[in-house]
């Protein structure tokens, strides 16, 4: 008898009919004999509805009271889903985050789970019940209600699985798994059967935002086997995200990620003195702008260097403004900026033991006349920044050249 | 510095605008320097909305899950009201029933409060905050969410006042106090400044259902001064419900209550043997029918007796059917039934020390040619059952004769 934690998102429980459909799925699953803990989100639209009411009342809604307000969303879902299960003759019981002591820190609106009391859940499972737990919510040490922030239901499910030492944590969503690349760009993209936590974290930006990054980090930390599957089809197999050592056939390249939200900023001809990286990036980070890739290169002219980095496209003009000031202060030649770039990344744990992947990637892009503007590498990822117009071409040619469409 | 518990019902917090209006009242009150604990209901309509969804899902909704579902209603209100207070610059904090350990028995849907942990509330009051507590809800010893049943918010407020040893519990509603009789029947009805718990309990049926009976019982038990006042007017004084010993000027008659929901059933000519009352009423109570007045009288024929009682009009035909069977079993002459009767009651603690009130009442009714069908008396109440058509006449003539329109 296995213990499975399942998570259904807001869309899956967005109406009475959908709650009833989810109940049917759960009942069928529970009849196979496994123990089931189900974590659910608020019905889709509910969180937005409550947020709008709060905004009518308070200019900057209190984070503590927002958490009291928003957690009613999942509380409604757990009771309705439990009723729907009981109606089908499947014994079920609901618990709020407070009732199973999903203890978090006190960071309202973005709390982090510290522990879960598994005692009650095990008792209810032992009594033959399906246990329905409110996702997204917890309580701090003093009993104040907290939320994990948007998408936190994934994290709740993984944390439940970790606390209960579940055999698998299944995240039901509207996609049927993790693909080798965004299928909207490359129709030959293939659903992976397994992928490692590390790769999944690097690929988090892959097209459809399949999983919250934090839930993958959590799963990785506690070695929770995590499966993403579709709630729209019968008997889905999805993609299993697990430890590297559990993956038998390690592909050299697992997938190709891309990010369209990048913008590039360069400071050209900076006098090369110690501390220039710090002097350039400090005002940027002080403006709460997150920097992604950073590349420092030697300039053609002696004693001068070029410094480039990427930011989210939303922060582009603000960052550019700041950089213009920095340019004067550092006596640099010029600021070059380009918000028409994308980042394409090759991801694969096999890279660790295979040299020459980067060279091969650059060659493929060169053959397609794709000019590489920035390069950044990690142990299991190679990212390049290229002109936005080459995005599809780059993804498709890399996908084909590395034969990602084949098992 | 006094400690006041206030309660606002669902209509008072039925929209964003009304929540803002209540917040203004609370702020003005708190600026007078008193400590304030506010108990609120769900926004009007919300409980019905949730109940309807549950009924769509489960034929007979689980009582436990209904409580999980319905308690979200007040949880929404407490957070929104706290936000509205904060927006006005009035520091406030919300607590669910679970958070202040409003501990109840486990009777889901109609739980009774056993204790309240006043520790947190006192701490928040000490920190200068208005404390907003969800009405209607609690948790049982095992932490399961419970509700006190409809109207339970009044009881929560009184229980909070008792636990906190508050100076007064104020129930804000849409009437401005307790009247000597139903003003819709007698326009000269006068708002009372004070009334005793005992009288209030006897008068609970007075026209507008001002207070939940349970909350008055609770207030009486714990000697909580309870004030009913209007949330629609400024600086209301309302009616104070308190212990008899706190009432200086004890009126002989405080008010005239009436009840239109009565129906009368009589068993005529029952052979007078021991145990007939039991034999008649047992099948009635087994059918979950509550009996109000009971009168047993000697019949004109020797050895026979007449037995009459009243039930709620909704139970009339069911009770009549049962009584027909009882009639045969007891070899009685006949069943007489009349669902066109009303009950009119004189209530006053002064009756204890004044003889002759009953005689006076019967005389007044006789003068108006109102025929009395049943009489029942308690220490502080005299009730008569009369033909429904005489209701207004009886109430008005008694109100005038006992000079209830005068202080």
The 3-state secondary structure of A298-344, one letter per residue = ECCCCCEEEEEEEEEHHHHHHHHHHHHHHHHHCCCCEEEEECCEEEE
CB contacts, 8 Å: B82 with chain A:
62, 65, 68
Domain finish residue from A339, A371, A389: A339
CB contacts, 8 Å: A96 with chain B:
68, 145
Q: Which two tokens stand for residue A164?
A: 């209960």
Is residue A141 marked as binding? Answer: no
CB burial of residue B303 (10 Å; 0-12, 13-18, 19+)? exposed
Interface-testing mutation among A55, A80, A83, with chain B (most B C-beta atoms within 10 A):
A83
**pLDDT class of A379 with cuts at 50, 70, 90:** confident
Contact with chain B for residue A373, Cβ under 8 A: no
Average pLDDT over residues A154-165: 95
Quick check: A68 and B145 CB within 8 A? no
Quick check: B66 and A79 CB within 8 A? yes
Q: Residue for token digits 């967005």?
A: A14
What's the CATH code of the domain at A368?
A: 3.30.2130.10
Least confident of A45-59, B12-26, B199-213: B199-213
Q: Please report the pLDDT score of residue B233 as a whole number.
A: 85
Quick check: A65 and B76 CB within 8 A? no
CB contacts, 8 Å: B74 with chain A:
none
Q: Which two tokens stand for residue A266?
A: 């360069």
Domain finish residue from A296, A322, A339: A339
Hey, is A162 helix, strand or coil? Answer: helix
| A372/A311 same-domain check | no
Cα A244 to the center of its chain, rounded Å: 19
Size of interface A-B (CB pairs under 8 A): 100
- Does the pLDDT of residue B186 top 70, yes or no? yes
Q: Of B289, B400, B402, B262, which Cα lies nearest the Cα of B344?
A: B262
| A335/A353 same-domain check | no
Digit-coded pLDDT (tens) for B310-368: 999 999 999 999 999 999 999 899 999 999 999 999 999 888 878 788 889 999 999 99
Q: Of A239, A254, A125, which Cα lies nearest the Cα of A172?
A: A239
Q: Please report the pLDDT score of residue A207 as a whole number.
A: 44
Contact with chain B for residue A62, Cβ under 8 A: yes
- Does the pLDDT of residue B209 top 70, yes or no? no
| A275/A354 same-domain check | no
- Does the pLDDT of residue B178 top 50, yes or no? yes
Is residue B11 marked as binding? Answer: no
Share of chain A above pLDDT 70, in %: 97
What's the CATH code of the domain at A118?
A: 3.40.1160.10
Share of chain A above pLDDT 90, in %: 71
Residue B123 resides in a domain: yes
Q: Are A399 and A189 in contact (CB under 8 A)?
A: yes
Contact with chain B for residue A64, Cβ under 8 A: yes
A58: closest chain B residue by CA: B87
Angle B271-B273-B279 (CA atoms, 0-180°, nearest 5)? 90
Digit-coded pLDDT (tens) for B221-256: 999 999 999 988 888 899 999 998 888 766 789 999
- Does the pLDDT of residue A292 top 90, yes or no? no
Residue B366 resides in a domain: no
Q: Are A163 and A131 in contact (CB under 8 A)?
A: no
Interface-testing mutation among A61, A64, A65, A131, with chain B (most B C-beta atoms within 10 A):
A65
Give the span between the Cα atoms of A263 and A244, in whole angstroms: 33
For chain B, what's the residue count?
A: 407
Q: Please report the pLDDT score of residue B277 as a whole number.
A: 85
Domain finish residue from A147, A173, A199: A173
A69 DSSP assignment: H
B144: closest chain A residue by CA: A99
Digit-coded pLDDT (tens) for A131-141: 999 999 999 99
| A357/A334 same-domain check | no
* Domain residue limits at B155: 3-173
Least confident of A320-329, A366-375, B206-215: B206-215
- Does the pLDDT of residue A377 top 90, yes or no? no
Quick check: B71 and A69 CB within 8 A? no
Number of domains in chain A: 3
Of the partner residues A59, A83, A96, the one whose CB lies closest to the CB of residue B62: A83
Residues facing residue B132 across a β-bridge: B38, B94
Residue A205 resides in a domain: no
Average pLDDT over residues B127-142: 97
Is residue B197 marked as binding? Answer: no
Contact with chain A for residue B71, Cβ under 8 A: yes
Quick check: B19 and A71 CB within 8 A? no
Contact with chain B for residue A89, Cβ under 8 A: no
- Does the pLDDT of residue A122 top 90, yes or no? yes
Q: Are A134 and A75 in contact (CB under 8 A)?
A: yes
Q: Is the ipTM of this complex over 0.90?
A: no
Of the partner residues A59, A75, A87, the one whose CB lies closest to the CB of residue B59: A87
CB burial of residue A357 (10 Å; 0-12, 13-18, 19+)? middle
Give the span between the Cα atoms of A217 and A154, in whole angstroms: 11
Residue B7 resides in a domain: yes
Residue B191 resides in a domain: no
| A159/A104 same-domain check | yes
Is residue B179 marked as binding? Answer: yes
**pLDDT class of B195 with cuts at 50, 70, 90:** very high
pLDDT, averaged across chain B? 91
Q: Of A398, A388, A364, A237, which Cα lies nearest the Cα of A310?
A: A388
Contact with chain A for residue B20, Cβ under 8 A: yes
Quick check: B76 and A79 CB within 8 A? no
CB contacts, 8 Å: A84 with chain B:
57-58
Interface-testing mutation among B16, B81, B83, with chain A (most A C-beta atoms within 10 A):
B83
A191 DSSP assignment: B
Least confident of A349-358, B17-26, B378-387: A349-358
Residues facing residue B39 across a β-bridge: B7, B133
Relative to beta strand B262-271, strand B226-230 is unpaired
Of the partner residues B16, B58, B59, the one whose CB lies closest to the CB of residue A56: B16
- Does the pLDDT of residue A204 top 80, yes or no? no
| A148/A286 same-domain check | no
| A335/A394 same-domain check | no
Which residues, at least 6 apart from A13, have a Cβ–Cβ distance to it below 8 Å? A19, A22, A40, A41, A43, A44, A77, A80, A81
Contact with chain A for residue B330, Cβ under 8 A: no
Quick check: B19 and A84 CB within 8 A? no
Average pLDDT over residues B202-213: 70
- Does the pLDDT of residue B151 top 80, yes or no? no
Give the DSSP letter string of B232-257. Answer: SSSS---EEEE-GGG-SS--S--EEE
Digit-coded pLDDT (tens) for B12-50: 999 999 999 999 999 999 999 999 999 999 999 999 999
Residue B77 resides in a domain: yes
Q: Please report the pLDDT score of residue B232 as a whole number.
A: 83
Q: Please report the pLDDT score of residue A151 as a whole number.
A: 67
| A318/A346 same-domain check | no
Q: Of B57, B372, B76, B302, which Cα lies nearest the Cα of A69?
A: B76
Is residue B7 marked as binding? Answer: yes
CB contacts, 8 Å: A69 with chain B:
75-76, 79-80, 83
Q: Are B45 and B135 in contact (CB under 8 A)?
A: no
Residue A168 resides in a domain: yes
Q: Are B46 and B10 in contact (CB under 8 A)?
A: yes
Residue B8 CA: distances (Å) to CA of B11, B45, B145: 8, 15, 22
- Does the pLDDT of residue B208 top 60, yes or no? no
Q: Please report the pLDDT score of residue B207 as a whole number.
A: 44
Quick check: B93 and A19 CB within 8 A? no
CB contacts, 8 Å: A76 with chain B:
50, 69, 72
| A72/A120 same-domain check | yes
Share of chain B above pLDDT 70, in %: 97
| A351/A312 same-domain check | no
Q: Residue for token digits 């008659």?
A: B253
Contact with chain B for residue A314, Cβ under 8 A: no
**pLDDT class of B206 with cuts at 50, 70, 90:** low
CB contacts, 8 Å: B72 with chain A:
72, 75-76
Residue A61 resides in a domain: yes
CB contacts, 8 Å: B76 with chain A:
50, 69, 72
Integer-rounded Cα Rg, in Å, for chain A is: 24
Q: Of B13, B227, B214, B198, which Cα lies nearest the Cα of B104?
A: B214
**pLDDT class of B53 with cuts at 50, 70, 90:** very high
**pLDDT class of A299 with cuts at 50, 70, 90:** low
């Amino acid at each position: 008898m296995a213990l499975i934690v399942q998570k259904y998102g807001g869309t899956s429980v967005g109406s009475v009919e959908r709650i009833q459909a989810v109940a049917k799925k759960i009942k069928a699953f529970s009849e196979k004999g496994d123990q089931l803990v189900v974590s659910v989100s608020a019905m889709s639209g509910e969180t937005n509805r409550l947020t709008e009411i709060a905004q009518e009342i308070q200019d900057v809604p209190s984070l503590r009271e927002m958490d009291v307000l928003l957690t009613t969303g999942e509380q409604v879902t757990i009771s309705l889903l439990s009723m729907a299960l009981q109606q089908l003759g499947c014994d079920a019981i609901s618990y709020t985050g407070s009732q199973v002591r999903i203890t978090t820190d006190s960071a309202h609106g973005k709390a982090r789970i510290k522990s879960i009391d598994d005692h009650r859940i095990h008792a209810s499972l032992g009594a033959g019940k399906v246990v329905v737990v409110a996702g997204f919510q917890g309580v701090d040490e003093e009993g104040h209600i907290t939320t994990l922030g948007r998408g936190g239901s994934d994290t709740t499910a993984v944390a439940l699985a970790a606390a209960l030492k579940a055999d698998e944590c299944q995240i039901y969503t509207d996609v049927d798994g993790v693909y080798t690349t965004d299928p909207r760009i490359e129709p030959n993209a293939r659903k992976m059967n397994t992928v490692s936590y590390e790769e999944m974290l690097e690929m988090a930006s892959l097209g459809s935002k399949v999983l919250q990054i934090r839930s993958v980090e959590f799963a990785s930390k506690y070695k929770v086997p995590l499966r993403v599957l579709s709630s729209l089809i019968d008997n889905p197999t999805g993609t299993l995200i697990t430890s590297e050592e559990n993956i038998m056939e390690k592909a050299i390249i697992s997938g190709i990620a891309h990010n369209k939200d990048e913008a590039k900023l360069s400071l050209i001809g900076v006098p090369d003195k110690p501390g220039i990286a710090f002097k350039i990036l400090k005002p940027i980070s002080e403006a709460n702008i997150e920097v992604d890739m950073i590349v420092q290169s030697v300039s053609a002219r002696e004693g001068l260097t070029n410094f480039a980095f990427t930011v989210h496209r939303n922060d582009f003009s603000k960052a550019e403004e700041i950089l213009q000031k920095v340019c004067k202060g550092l006596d640099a030649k010029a600021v070059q900026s380009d918000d028409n770039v994308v980042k394409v990344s090759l991801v694969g744990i096999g890279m660790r033991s295979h040299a020459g992947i980067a060279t091969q990637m650059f060659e493929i892009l060169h053959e397609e006349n794709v000019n590489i503007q920035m390069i950044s590498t990690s142990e299991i990822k190679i990212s390049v920044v290229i002109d936005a117009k080459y995005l599809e071409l780059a993804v498709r040619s890399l996908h084909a050249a590395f034969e990602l469409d084949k098992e």
